[in-house]
Amino acid sequence: MVFNFNRLSGGSLPPTVCLSAWLVLGLTEDETFIAIAVSNIQQLLITGATGGVGQLAVAYALKQGYQVRASTRNIAKARPLFDDRVELKQIDLRQPDTLTPSLDGIDAVLCCSGTTAFPSDKWQVDLPSQPFEQLLTWSRIFLDADYRQRHTKNSPAIADDQGVKNLIAAAKNSSVSRFVMVSSLGIDRKDQFPFNLLNAYGVLDAKQAAEQALRDSELTYTIVRPGRLIDGPYTSYDLNTLLKASTDGKQGIVLGRGDQLLGQTSRKDVAAACVECLQNATTEKTTFEIINQGERPVNIAWPKLFTEMAQAG
């Protein structure tokens, strides 16, 4: 980890003082350059902050000395998660008008929000009151694409595609200088097993469209693509959640580019990667995959992981 004196001091230290601090600590010229170059990032907006990755990203960011604005559609639900350690902001990515004021003073966005890959109540389905009619509705949601589009309010096309595009558009007209987005493995292999199954209801199409919008924006971005999420908090509806699948904290981290990795990813490592990106210039304008594999070292050396990934091309 590279300490960021400017952030820890609340942004009050001039670069020359920071530079002296790096020199006293014996950091290399490159590390000094990277640290100073990104040292003005202090205030983060984390979307999906109540979700599995989001909660861990909030915790990791606070531990690193960032100030966090945590986004949720339901402040009452979110408040017990964070005590008073974050500024809670009611944000719905489907409502573009609410986004610009929410980004006021924000230096970096970590976009950890999303809906489920397969139809679930997180898609906000218009349901009739009678149980039998509800069953029919769910059947049609699964089987009939037109019906699904008309009767769901938070599908991947809405939350992961249009919602994230709304956030990108608002960020472009704000103080935001850095945008980190959690996407998914398999975007470039949507037609191959198992990603063709995962994309049956368009989640990879939606993530791909949002990724492209981010690359096309003038924002300095990083796109983080995890495999199937493992370890708690178990917030999504899938087999790993049912099984409470866990790495037991024993697996190492593998980063890759070009969408060639296959595997699962601990939520805590996705969260850490998102925050660590902010202090590492090699991740700027970069898309990378992250999975857990092999033996875990005692300490995770993020700068080394990022440098090796960049060198591998």
Under the binding rule (CB under 6 A), the answer on residue 93 touching ligand NAP is yes
Cα 58 to Cα 46, 154, 250: the distances in Å are 7, 23, 23
Under the binding rule (CB under 6 A), the answer on residue 184 touching ligand NAP is yes
Under the binding rule (CB under 6 A), the answer on residue 99 touching ligand NAP is no
Cβ proximity to ligand NAP: between 114 and 119 the closer is 114
User: Which segment (61-69, 98-106, 169-177, 232-240) binds ligand NAP by CB under 6 A?
Assistant: 232-240
Under the binding rule (CB under 6 A), the answer on residue 229 touching ligand NAP is yes
Under the binding rule (CB under 6 A), the answer on residue 202 touching ligand NAP is no
Number of residues that bind ligand NAP (CB under 6 A): 31
User: Which segment (37-45, 68-76, 187-195, 290-298) binds ligand NAP by CB under 6 A?
Assistant: 68-76
Q: What's the rounded Cα separation, in Å, for the pair 199 and 312?
A: 29
Cβ proximity to ligand NAP: between 7 and 89 the closer is 89
Tokens of 237: 């509806």
Angle of CA points 303, 232, 102, to nearest 5°? 70
Sign of CA dihedral 238, 286, 278, 210: negative
Under the binding rule (CB under 6 A), the answer on residue 167 touching ligand NAP is no
Residue from 67, 115, 166, 266 in contact with ligand NAP (CB under 6 A): 115
Under the binding rule (CB under 6 A), the answer on residue 155 touching ligand NAP is no
Cβ proximity to ligand NAP: between 16 and 192 the closer is 192
User: Which segment (31-39, 43-51, 134-142, 253-261) binds ligand NAP by CB under 6 A?
Assistant: 43-51
Q: In DSSP terms, which residues pair with 44 in a beta bridge?
A: 68, 108
Going by C-alpha positions, the residue among 190, 183, 185, 189 that lies closest to residue 211 is 183
Residue from 4, 47, 174, 279 in contact with ligand NAP (CB under 6 A): 47
Burial tier of 237 (Cβ tally within 10 Å: 0-12, 13-18, 19+): middle
Under the binding rule (CB under 6 A), the answer on residue 236 touching ligand NAP is yes
Residue from 4, 152, 154, 222 in contact with ligand NAP (CB under 6 A): 154
Task: Give the pairing of strands 67-72 and 178-182.
Answer: unpaired
Under the binding rule (CB under 6 A), the answer on residue 228 touching ligand NAP is yes
Q: How far is the CB of 71 from ligand NAP (least distance, A)?
A: 6
Under the binding rule (CB under 6 A), the answer on residue 235 touching ligand NAP is yes
DSSP state of 187: G
Going by C-alpha positions, the residue among 204, 290, 281 that lies closest to residue 255 is 290
Give Rg (Cα) of the chain: 20
CA neighbours within 13 Å on the CB side: how many for 122? 17
- Classify each residue of 77-101 as buried b or exposed e, where b means 16 or more C-beta atoms within 10 Å of its C-beta: ebeebbeeebebbebbbbeeebbee
- Report the residue number whose CB is nearest to ligand NAP: 51
Cβ proximity to ligand NAP: between 38 and 57 the closer is 57
User: Which residues in this chain contact ligand NAP in the complex, by CB under 6 A?
Assistant: 47-48, 50-54, 72-74, 78, 91-94, 112-115, 154, 159, 163, 182, 184, 226, 228-229, 235-236, 238, 267
